[in-house]
Amino acid sequence: MLPVRRGTSMSDNIIYQPIGVIRSEHTRAAQTPIQPVFCEGCPGRAEVRPEYGAGLRDLEGFSHVYLIYHFHEAGKPRLVVKPFLQDVERGVFATRAPCRPNPIGLSIVRLVRREGNVLHLVGVDVLDGTPLLDIKPYIARFDRIEDARSGWQDKVDDATAQRRGRREFREDAQK
């Protein structure tokens, strides 16, 4: 059992403030690709608030960054969902569905350049206007895992993933 630090408990509220906003060409949640791999070439920007601009220093040397954001249009949380890539119900924590108890999203995108407080990006699978919570650099030495397993995802063939991941097959995608 892990010790609980003084002053923290599972009943404490955690409050985050956005550090900026994500801009993209995706204006409808039901038509936004489900992962960066399915929106290759889709441009976007992370517009960081001026008071956090100094934190962008030295990002220029990285090819990719993680965007951590709030799914502001996720809807009511559900613990069991049908993921986009299958028609089988799965536990929400075994998916990347947005309708989570804490609607936090994560995407790895290519960093093209920085202009002041704006990061120009490619491969953005995020709805325009999404609140940005954090940015972290992708570091191959730490983040790449050679012998990883992907659970039920390993059973989804590439053609199905490409078709469903772009969401073109289903207009009534999870809301």
The predicted pLDDT at position 40 comes to: 78
67 domain-assigned: yes
CA dist 40 and 109 (Å) reads 10
The predicted pLDDT at position 6 comes to: 62
Number of domains in the chain: 1
161 domain-assigned: yes
Are the beta carbons of 67 and 125 closer than 8 angstroms?
no
* Spans of the chain below 70 pLDDT: 1-9, 34-36, 38, 85, 148-158, 160-175
The predicted pLDDT at position 150 comes to: 56
15 domain-assigned: no
We report the CATH number of the domain holding residue 39 as 2.40.30.70
Per-residue pLDDT of 118-155, as tens digits, reads: 999 999 999 999 999 999 999 988 887 787 665 656 66
59 domain-assigned: yes
SS3 135: strand
26 domain-assigned: yes
- Residue 57 belongs to what domain range? 20-140+152-165
Q: Give the residue from 66, 94, 67 showing the smallest Cα distance to 78.
A: 94
170 domain-assigned: no
CA angle 15, 54, 13 (to 5 degrees): 5
Strand runs (DSSP E) across the chain, as ranges? 20-24, 43-48, 64-70, 80-81, 90-91, 104-115, 118-122, 130-137
70 domain-assigned: yes
14 domain-assigned: no
Phi and psi at 38, nearest 5°, equal -95, 5
